[in-house]
A and B are shown apart, each in its own frame.
Chain A
Amino acid sequence: MNNLAVKATELTKTYGEGETAVHALSDVTFEIPRGEFVVLQGPSGCGKTTLLNQLGALEAPTSGDVESNGYKLNGLDDDGRTDYRLNTVGFVFQFYNLVPSLTAYENVALIAELTGDDVRKRSEQVLASVGLGDRMDHFPGQMSGGEQQRVSIARGLVKNPPLMLCDEPTGALDTETGIQVLRLLRSITDSGDRTIVVVTHNSQISEIANRVIELKDGVVLGMHLNDDPKDPGDVAW
């Protein structure tokens, strides 16, 4: 098995044309080994989310390519991208984006049904693993922000994806809840075969990452490794 989780090659994304064109990403190239907790960091507007969208095949690049877990994303059509997301990527969003008419269990089961049997067992297990074993029958409107984000993480995890992409996962949470969520995300990489990419503008989060990729104006400014990532509770928030 290839030890690389993600490989981006000369990735460029331009919105608009001519004088009004915005170069969100320019010739971005990097590699992410499997099993790492990676932080994509940079100021607002630097292209973090655009890059995350490229990694998750939510948008097509203007040029360049992404290889991820055996998929070459540039050549995929809509069905291919859907298939890639279904089998490879778990998403966590800042605002959770849960379906309000479904319970926590059902939000997770909705995705579990697409990816195999034992829907109930897998959904319950993954919810229990994020600490929501006793809140499964609650609707999003009956849960706190932290709980909703944990449901969102469980929803991403239930299909057992090799890659989790998280966009400002603590952006809507208070500090304490944010720490709990980061611990949870950090623990996901413990097995060593799952990679997490977290987009954030919060520089402290980089202290818990294995690898930090810094972006500015759509260009990779630099990438560094943390030999000794901290526990989220030990970071000075």
Chain B
Amino acid sequence: MKALSNKRRRDIGQQKWQFIAVIITVAMGVAMFAGTFNAYLNLGTSLEASYDRLHMADMVVTGADEGFVDSVQSVEGVANAIERRQADVPFVIGDDDLLGRVIGFPGDGQPAIDQIDIDEGDYLDPDAPTDVLIEKHAAANFDLGVGDSFTIADVEVTVVGIVTSPEYLWPARDEQSLFTPPDTFAVVFALEETLDGLGSTIALDQVLVEYDEDADREATDEAVENAASAANAGGTQVLEDQPSNSAINEEISGLQSMAVAFPVLFLSAAGMAIYVIMTRLVFSQRGVIGTLRASGFGKKQLAAHYRSYGMLVGIIGAAIGALFGGLMARGMTALYTQVFSIPDLVARFHLPTVLVALAFGAVAGIVASIAPARLVMRMEPAEAMRGDVPAEAGKESIFEKLLPPLRRAPVRWRMTLRGIGRNMKRSSTQVIGVVLAMTLIIAAVGMLDTIVRIVDRQFDEVSLSDATAIFNVPVTPDAIAEVAGVNDVAGAEAVMTLQASIKNGAETFSTTISGYEADTTMHGFPEPLPRTGILVGQAMGDVLDVSVGDNVTVVLGQLDAEITTSIEGFVDEPLGTVAYMQLDTLINSIVASNDDVDPALLTSPAYTTAEARFDQGANAENVMDRIQDLDIVATVVNETALRDAFLDYQAFFYAFIGLMVVFGAALAFALIFNIISVNVAERSSEFASMRANGLSYRRVANMIAGETFLLTALGILPGMLVGWWAANAFIKSFADEQMPITADVAPITFVIASLSMFVVAGLSLLPALRAVKRIKVGEIVRERSV
């Protein structure tokens, strides 16, 4: 029906700003969905492509018996397995001393599993044992190029290539150090014989296992773990727990949660705005509807006509959103692949996502128009043609009922209070809009608050040392005293940290175990370390299903030792889920569990360090330099650097959070603007009449502003509660058993989110108040406005 189409077009044109606000809201929601979900799909595909091409290991088994590499190949689902060795050894690169990692590679070409991309230079020469390939993060951080030299365990090596490794796309030392300070870590790939030439360094024997493409991953993981256990392996690491993969997948899964949760908020808001506009339109067109019905239009025909408004703006918004979403997806995929150094960028156009996005927009529009369309169906032609709407029944506001003294307040105040009860659906819509916008803002900023709080707790309450010195000599009391004696160092203690698998029956938790002195001042424990037994992270306790007093087995793969000990308590630490023992107890338990363990090995720099605290007001950099200058120290890790590494990791979250705050404000603006516009349009005769009777524009404006701010205020408390709940749910999508975080939203965030709602409400008021100022009092009082 062309005439009806023209009517629809002109109706929309007459309220173009309200409809534009809705279209923008739909477009934002759809763009977020299409962009984020496509980026999520593309990132997963890109990562998968890189893993497939470079044969990323599906499982790494450490310290298994000889022959395991052959036996594991017969496990169902296993495609291939190879042996490899790696060692953590002191590096000296320029002025930097650090604990680096050397991974043994064959001289006759790349290994079959965990291959690398050579970005610059050449592969290793089998006749040049001092040549190394350096992982690209370290090359960039230490400004190393092909031909440059540095020292590994007193052996000078030369960089012959800069490489990308699928194991270090996110350069983490281990599962417990996802945020490894870049100055303290570097990975090189060297010939096996280079590894042999690194003195007394203990190299870990690893078996890398690759699965068939169509293998049942869970079943194969279990079968390989069983086989590894039978081969007395010290530890196993599935791909899911591989540090780099785990860090990247946390981000990708967070992206997936965002892709669904936030667009739902926008589409809900858009739907509510459509409902408000369409209800108003239907009421204002009662006469037209009655006339059309009298002229022969059917109820369903007219209902479909009004539903089509919502569908049209939904589809237009969704189409714009899908377009921007497509561009956003490309940008986000490129950004993420760059941040995580994923070598393969697969940015596909996912038609189903775009179609779903379009459907989201259209469905939001149609659903929101159902109620107004039903109003159309219920109108009787004769009554509708009269055009007037039965007068609303007035009543006291809830505020006056609850607070009787308000009944004596000036009438204009009471009018403001009652204004919010005049159209409960519309008022509820504004309240819900405020709740949605606050949810968006609090969930996003709450993420930032939580990160900051985690960092503060970790570095102010848990990890109390200022620096960790890693030694290149056995750690003796003299060595500790030497560190403690450095100018501006307040104290130093020996700390031993070992990779460990903690087992309770069939349940295993891979982590680290740290030994601290009984009265340590380097680490904050809720109560002193027990003389015997261990303390473990609460999340570990849940996984292992243990309580205080239960016995667990601590498997130390590097030392081929097993300790049976009891759980003496749980700790709640924000970063990482680890185990703690008293240092003496740990050393004695290791020695007692395996006669073959050489106590001297326990002093290897790979295991044992000293943590130090500085004097108040000391210049940390200078103190670090002084510790570094000690001959016995291989490298010093600054705790501030750890804090910075963690915050750097979150850096590109900030852009997202900023975007969410802007989107949240825009969402609130679009919704409140529409509601106020409709409110003013509907009550134009009332306002005109007041103006005619001598109320100044300012008084009328104050009443409208009062209603708007009051409704905004009503949304604040539920907005805080729902926002806090959403922040928790959002944070949980990034949590895992290693980092069991919960939302910790700062009070100031609630305050800022609340104030921002009032600012947005104030801004949304401006166009409506201008409309009130432009009211032609003389014309409007002649007509009954509905």
Contacts and interface: CB of A to CB of B under 8 A. Distances in A.
Interface of A: 49-50, 53, 56, 58-59, 78-79, 82-83, 85-87, 89-91, 93-95, 97-103, 106, 109-111, 113-115, 139-142, 155-156, 159, 167
Contact of A78 (B395, B412, B697): B697
Nearest to A49: B782
Contacts of B392: 100-101, 141
Contacts of A93: 689, 692, 781-782
Interface stretch (B120-128, B416-424, B477-485): B416-424
B689 A91 contact: yes
Contacts of A159: 694
B748 interface: no
Contacts of B226: none
A79 B696 contact: yes
B403 interface: no
B777 interface: yes
A140 B689 contact: no
B186 to A, nearest CB: 73
A87 B694 contact: yes
Contacts of A87: 694
Contacts of B411: 102, 106, 109-110, 113
B418 A102 contact: yes
Given A59-B776, A91-B689, A109-B411, A97 B694 contact: no
A100 B690 CA distance: 13
A87 B422 CA distance: 30
Contacts of A98: 689
B394 A100 contact: yes
Contacts of B415: 99, 101-102, 106, 110
Nearest to A167: B782
Contact of B693 (A49, A103, A156): A156
B782 A141 contact: no
A85 B394 contact: no
Lowest 7 A-B CB distances belong to which pairs? Answer: A86-B694, A139-B394, A53-B778, A97-B689, A58-B778, A101-B418, A141-B391
B394 A103 contact: yes
Contacts, number: 111
Nearest to B394: A139
A90 B776 CA distance: 18
Interface residues on B, range: 35 or more
Q: Which of A82, A97, A113, A140 has the most CB of B within 10 A?
A: A97
B414 interface: yes
A167 B781 CA distance: 9
B691 interface: yes
B414 A58 contact: no
B686 interface: yes
Contacts of A83: 694
A113 B410 contact: yes
Q: Which of B421, B422, B685, B777 has the most CB of A within 10 A?
A: B777
A101 B690 CA distance: 14
Interface in B659-703: 685-686, 688-697, 699
B288 to A, nearest CB: 19
Contact of B414 (A59, A100, A106): A106
A33 to B, nearest CB: 24
B16 interface: no
Nearest to A54: B778
A3 to B, nearest CB: 25
A46 B50 CA distance: 83
A113 B394 contact: no
Contact of A140 (B391, B410, B688, B696): B391
Nearest to B693: A111
B784 interface: yes
A109 B408 CA distance: 11
Contacts of A53: 777-778
A90 B414 CA distance: 23
Interface in B360-391: 390-391
Contacts of B689: 91, 93, 97-99
B458 to A, nearest CB: 55
Contact of B412 (A49, A56, A94, A110): A110
B655 interface: no
B389 to A, nearest CB: 10
Given A113-B411, A140-B394, A141-B391, A155 B693 contact: yes
B651 interface: no
A91 B696 CA distance: 15
B3 interface: no
B402 interface: no
B412 A113 contact: yes
29 contacts: A53-B778, A58-B777, A85-B694, A89-B694, A90-B693, A91-B693, A93-B689, A93-B692, A94-B782, A97-B688, A98-B689, A99-B686, A99-B690, A100-B394, A101-B422, A106-B411, A110-B411, A111-B694, A111-B695, A113-B410, A114-B699, A115-B694, A139-B393, A139-B395, A140-B391, A140-B394, A142-B394, A155-B693, A167-B782
Contacts of A115: 694
Given A53-B777, A90-B693, A110-B412, 17 more contacts: A49-B782, A59-B777, A82-B691, A95-B784, A97-B686, A97-B781, A99-B415, A100-B393, A100-B422, A101-B422, A102-B414, A106-B414, A115-B694, A139-B393, A139-B394, A141-B392, A155-B693
A139 B395 CA distance: 7
Contacts of A167: 781-782
A56 B686 contact: no
A237 B469 CA distance: 107
A50 B781 CA distance: 12
B534 to A, nearest CB: 68
Contacts of B693: 85-86, 90-91, 111, 155-156
A155 B335 CA distance: 66
Contacts of B777: 53, 58-59
A50 B422 CA distance: 32
Interface string B767-786: 00000000011100111100
